[in-house]
């Protein structure tokens, strides 16, 4: 890790810490438990290589991503349940969507080759992240379709996380094709996108949101099972 990468990583670490503090200060930690856990895991996963540089290894990266993966899926499932549970018709559709995405992701993972770190980064991990992208995107589409009431905090986090995950998937695929040494500039793109995401999450966490007006019920929600 060169100086520029270390600087960006430290900035990211500061932003994660600020987000965690904001969740407590603004009392938004109770809005989304797995989001809290994901940020905490990201803070630890970013801090450890700086405190103990010998941990900056491919094995640690793989272990870190295998912790992030279930947390990402859990984030999507929790936010889906929190939003859809008051709307039985929309909840039934969301359940079918979640099942379809999880099955598709599992099949993609089982078909992915695994021969070490390069195939993990270039083949396996992008398929896992793609599953998360589809899950978040599908839930967001259903929210828009049924015009469900949504906290601004949820909306900002979800709508910013989906494009970042897409960028991350593209970057990992390109790095696998070009190699890590030739893809230094691409790595910067991923790091900068991550820092931008964290900065926006801090905005979403720390800002004051006005109380939302009660929306008119969507007739499409009536009688759907």
User: What pTM value is reported for the model?
Assistant: 0.84
What are the b/e assignments for 113-139, b being 16+ CB within 10 Å?
Answer: eeeeeeebbbbbbbbbbbbbbbbbbbb
Instruction: Please tell me the number of Cα atoms within 13 Å of 123 on its side-chain side.
Output: 13
Helix (H, G, I), strand (E, B) or coil at 21: helix
162-184 tens-digit pLDDT:
889 888 888 877 776 766 555 56
Q: What pLDDT digit, counting tens, does each position of 142-168 carry?
A: 988 888 888 899 989 988 998 898 888
pLDDT of 210 reads: 64
Close Cβ partners of 96 (under 8 Å, ≥ 6 residues apart): none
Question: Which residue did the predictor score with more confidence, 48 or 37?
Answer: 37
């Amino acid at each position: 890790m060169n100086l520029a990468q270390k600087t960006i990583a430290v900035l990211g670490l500061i932003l994660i810490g600020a987000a965690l503090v904001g969740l407590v200060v603004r009392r938004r930690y109770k809005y989304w438990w797995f989001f809290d856990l994901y940020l905490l895991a990201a803070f630890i996963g970013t801090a450890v290589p700086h405190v103990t540089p010998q941990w900056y290894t491919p094995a640690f990266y793989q272990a870190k991503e295998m912790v992030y993966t279930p947390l990402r899926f859990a984030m999507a499932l929790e936010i889906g349940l929190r939003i859809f549970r008051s709307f039985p018709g929309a909840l039934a559709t969301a359940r079918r969507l979640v099942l379809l995405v999880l099955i598709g992701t599992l099949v993609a993972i089982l078909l992915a080759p695994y021969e070490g770190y390069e195939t993990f980064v270039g083949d396996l991990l992008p398929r896992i992240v793609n599953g998360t992208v589809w899950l978040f995107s599908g839930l967001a589409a259903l929210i828009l379709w049924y015009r469900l009431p949504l906290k601004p905090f949820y909306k900002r986090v979800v709508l910013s996380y989906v494009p970042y995950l897409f960028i991350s998937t593209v970057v990992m695929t390109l790095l696998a094709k070009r190699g890590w040494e030739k893809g230094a500039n691409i790595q910067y793109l991923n790091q900068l996108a991550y820092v931008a995401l964290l900065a926006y999450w801090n905005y979403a966490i720390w800002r004051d949101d006005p109380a939302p007006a009660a929306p008119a019920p969507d007739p499409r929600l009536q009688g759907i099972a």
